[in-house]
Structures are given as structure tokens and as C-alpha cells.
Structure 1
Amino acid sequence: MKLHLLDRSSISNSSFTTKVNDYPYFLKIWHYHPELELVIILKSEGTCFIGDCIEKFQIGDVVLIGKDLPHMWLNDDEYFNKNSNQTAKAIAIHFKQDYLGNAFFETPEMIHLLELFNRAKYGLKFLNIEKKLIKEIEKMLELKGFDKTIAFLTILNKLSKHKQTKKLASQGFVNSFKPSDNDTQYKIQSYIFKNFNKDITLEKAAKIAHMNTSAFSRYFKRVNRKTFSKYVTEIRIGFACKLLIENKYNIAAICYESGFKNISNFNRQFKLIMDCTPSEYQKNRKIQT
């Protein structure tokens, strides 16, 4: 899965860009950009990849993605069927952290927004957002100039005060990722994300990094603060959680779809990471829903 640098700079007379993406499905591009991105899902469901986080996305989701944080929105399989009448629609707002000047967000009145931007470096999901706020965001798209800027600041202010949020990417991923085509860690993470639910080996990853296995193991643990096997297992469990929420497969199928070889190991690893069994996790999510 190649990582792409996308140009999100404004081509209009504006300090930030607003766009409604309305397609049969979202583009399958694993990418990053120097702008922060506020995403509001208006239609469709699927899987979002944000840093090393993999989870389900659905209508009404609001996510703030920090600068240079790799991400991708992948719709469910039915969206890619030739005769599908499904559509994917989302609002995307791109802006640089200093889009209103270098010192604007460092003033006492705006420091809480700067703190919001800093929290977004991991990817920040806002839970249980009221429909009223989403309507305000949609209405902002119709504004121009000063009115649009004030409306956006008001929305950021409300998001900064929203209590229910979820951090998405891990600290290890954010600390280790460098957006460079020649960066060793980037090549390793690309290999992991492309193959986590297939056969994936320490030896192959070490070969990609041009290291022997012992040196690579030490390097990976130092950079990511966990072993290679634990890192891959956590990615697989994250994907399994997404499949459990969707409830399209039984637990045995989810085990193999997530890259595990047998049910007993899948159940054991799931319990270690999630502190519950796959069936308990699925049951609890149904109750929450």
C-alpha cells in the first residue's frame, strides 16, 4: 500500500479549503498532507485507517486528523460492485495549523484551539456529536470570507470543548513516522498494513529494512516501543474489532480474515488486548448501540 503526499493547498482566495466529496465510493489512497483535516461522514460505511488504527466508520462520524498523519477511508465491498447504487459522501475541511498567522492560536483566547490541534496529531474522533453541529458545518460551506472564517472558528471552539473523544493512532506510530519515501520506518509500516491479515514475517520486514533479524528486532522495539509481533497482533485485533462490529461474519471467519491461524490463539490474544472475549466484545457493542 503505497503512501502518497497529496496537495491540499487552497487554489481559491481562502486560508482553508472546504469540499463535499460525493462519489460512488471514497478513493482508496493511503495518503498524508501537511494540513489538518476535519472529516464529517454524511453517507456510507466502511473501514478507516488512521495511523495504525483500524476501525469502522459510519454516517455521522466526525474526525480531526493531524498534519502528516497517514489515513485512508475504505468503503465496504458492496460499494465496489459494478451494479451498486451506493454512494459515499463526506465533508472535508483542510487547513494548516497557522492558517490565520503564526501567533494567532498562541494568544490566551485561542490557546484551547491550539491544544485541540495538538491532540489531533493522533487522529481525534468526536463521539456522540449532535446533528445540530453537523448542520452548522454544512451551513458554513455556503458562507464566504469573514463570515465563513468566524463560522469555522466557532465550530472548532465547540469541538475543543466536546468531552467525548477517542484518540486513534498510537503514540508509537506518531513518534516513529516520518513522511519520506526513503524512510525505513515508512517502508516497514507500509509492508505491515498491506499484509497484516496475510502471511507476514519478521524476516521479510527485516529484509525490507536491510537489516538482519536480530538488529531489526532491536530497532523496531526501540522505535515503536513494542515488539514486531505485538505490533502486528494489535493491528490484527483492531481489524477484528471492526469486523465484529459489522456483524457480517461469524467469529471463526473473523479469526482467519484478521490473519490468525487458529481460534484458540485469536481468543487468547483478543482477551489480552481488549480485556474481553470476541463474543463479549460483540455483545457489549450491540448493547451500546
Structure 2
Amino acid sequence: MKVIPFKIPKPSKELIRYQVDRQPYFYDKLHQHPEIQLSCILEGEGKLIVGDYIGRFGPGDIFLLGQNVPHVFRSDDVYYQPEEARQCHSIILFFDLRAFGEAFWASEEMQEVKEFFEQQNGCYRVSLEAQEHFVEQVRQLQHKSKLEKVVSALQLVDMLMHQATLQRLNLADQMHNLSEREGKRMEQVLEFLVEESHRQLTLEEVASVANMSREAFCRFFKERTRKTLVTFLNELRLSNACQALLHSDQTIASIAFTCGFANLSHFNRVFIKTIGITPREFRRQASVTKV
């Protein structure tokens, strides 16, 4: 399957596509599509990568992605191990603005909705006071008739517009609407970094994955992520380290080396600079929260 563009399997004139993903791990290739995407994570944890953003996703999270925004929900490594028998589960709504037609969007009643959708040009974390109720409303769409589904979906959009807080996650627009060639190259690089971030990597090695020179790759990568390779790698490694601090009994030194940091002092410096506290304090606060 081509990485970019990604074709949503649906009838060409379907306005709203309701999709349930229930599998060992989520689709793990960088992809984009013209439909606006609303994702409700029910089970599974991992990394969400969108442009210059690397962050965690987990049960209860809701994300809204604009048109043609390249993204990947990369499940944690444990979900790729058959013996673990874990499962990822999400409900996704795809809004095809093209299928509604120009006359629909030209109507006075739809101007507010049109403006709302046009503003969604990135990836957003959705927060609502009645988060569980919202997810249940999304679930119920699968039982509704075609007309009821459209009406109910627009009611969900109204909740997003007037009751939800949308936190913009990615700051850069360079990853927006990549060409197929650029998307394939970025997908290869991101997959390599995710898989190999546990060890020391050279710029030459990563550039070779993109089949580019050092200089060309540095420009290419920074233009599309607004980060240097070192910064991006450090954030990727910190994400893995935070999960290890929360869910394992490894020593902090062991976690640092396992996640790809050359030494403990460097790990501590990067952790404090990015997270704001020491790894030890991070683990202590997490344990207090659990209690």
C-alpha cells in the first residue's frame, strides 16, 4: 500500500465513514488523506507522530486531524509481540467535505461549520468535560440509519465547536500535504528512527535511509519537522524512557542506555531540560499519583 496518499475504503459519495480498528497494533505507516479524521482511542498505547510533534496516546484520548495532515499512530513495541496477546482498539470518524458538495457549504446555516473545518489544518487533542459521553455518542453512530448518522455526526461537530477544548499539537505546517515521494521518504526515515532509536546513530546512517547526502538530508528533515535530527531523536528516546520509568523496575541508568542515551549524565540533562524534573522525581511523582 502506498504511504501517501492513503485511500479511505468507502463509497465515493459517503459523507461520514464510521470505522472500528481492533487489531494487535495500529496501522504504523506515515499517511495522509483528504478526509478530516476524529480518532477515539479505546485500547492501546504508543506514540503519535505528526510533523514536529512526538507524543503519547492511550485509552481515553481523542484526536482531531485536518485534511491531508501526515500522521502515524505507532503502537508500543509490546503490541508487536504475539505472546503478549494485547489489543489496540479505536473508533474513527472520517468526514469527507468534498462529498457534501459546494451548494451545501454555501448555505448560510453551514458557514460556522465550514469555517471550523477550514481552521483544522493540523492535529489537535480534544478535551471535553463529558468525554465519556462524547465517545459513547460516537459509538452509537454504528447503529443509526444513513440520515441519522449524518445528523448525529454534525451534532458531534457542534460539540467540538462549542464544548471542547482543542489543543494544537504540531506547530509546523511543513509536513502538511506532502507529495507521495516526500511522504514515502519521511515514512522510511521515521520508521527507521523509531526502530533504531535504542542505539547510537550517525547522521550518515540516517541520511542513507533517505538516500540523501548529509547536507541535503539535514535541510529536508528540518524543513519538515522544524527540528534537528538530534532533537527529534532525543524526544523519541525520552518518550520511551518515560514509559520505562512508569512501567518497569529498571534502574534509571539501565533505562538511559536501553533507550539510546550514551551516558547517564547526558540523559539527566536532556530529561531535565525537556520534562522539567529529574527522571527520579518523575518516577516518584508517578508512583504517588498511582497510589
> For this structure pair, what is the TM-score category when the shorter chain's length is used for normalisation?
0.7 to 0.9
Establish whether residue 254 from structure 1 lines up as the match of residue 255 from structure 2. Answer: yes
Distance 1:118 1:218, change over 3 A: same
Q: Which one has more relative contact order, counting CA pairs under 8 Å at least 6 apart?
A: 2
Matched to 2:227, the amino acid is: K
Distance 1:15 1:229, change over 3 A: same
Q: Superposition pairs for residues 1-289 of structure 1, below 5 Å?
A: 3=3, 5-11=5-11, 14-23=14-23, 25-32=24-31, 33-42=33-42, 44-52=43-51, 53-68=53-68, 69-74=70-75, 77=78, 80-82=81-83, 84=85, 86-102=86-102, 104=104, 110-114=110-114, 116-117=116-117, 120-127=120-127, 129-171=130-172, 174=175, 178-181=178-181, 186=186, 187-218=188-219, 220-246=221-247, 249-284=250-285
Q: 1:12 Cα deviation (Å)? A: 7.9
Q: Secondary structure at the match of 2:231?
A: helix
Q: Percent identity?
A: 23
Range with bigger deviation, 227-236 or 202-211: 202-211
Distance 1:116 1:28, change over 3 A: same
Structure 1 distance, partners of 2:29, 2:142, is 26
Q: Secondary structure at the match of 2:175?
A: helix
Q: Secondary structure at the match of 2:89?
A: strand
Distance 1:156 1:280, change over 3 A: farther
Structure 1 distance, partners of 2:215, 2:80, is 43
Range with bigger deviation, 247-256 or 137-146: 247-256
Segments of 5+ residues of structure 2 without an aligned counterpart are none
Distance 1:199 1:28, change over 3 A: farther
Q: 1:172 Cα deviation (Å)? A: 5.9
Distance 1:16 1:255, change over 3 A: same
Tell me if structure 1 keeps the 8 A contact 2:54–2:235: no
- Aligned-residue Cα RMSD (Å) equals 3.5
Structure 2 distance, partners of 1:76, 1:195, is 12
Matched to 2:124, the amino acid is: L
Aligned residues: 284
Structure 2 distance, partners of 1:73, 1:143, is 31
Tell me if structure 1 keeps the 8 A contact 2:200–2:262: no
Q: Secondary structure at the match of 2:153?
A: helix
Matched to 1:230, the amino acid is: T
Q: 1:146 Cα deviation (Å)? A: 1.9
Segments of 5+ residues of structure 1 without an aligned counterpart are none
Range with bigger deviation, 249-258 or 184-193: 184-193
Q: 1:208 Cα deviation (Å)? A: 4.2
Structure 2 distance, partners of 1:197, 1:87, is 24
Q: Secondary structure at the match of 1:174?
A: coil
Tell me if structure 2 keeps the 8 A contact 1:47–1:242: no
Question: What's the CA shift string for 1:241-276, capped at 9, x where partnerless?
Answer: 344444564433332333212111011012222222
Q: Secondary structure at the match of 1:169?
A: coil
Q: 1:149 Cα deviation (Å)? A: 0.7
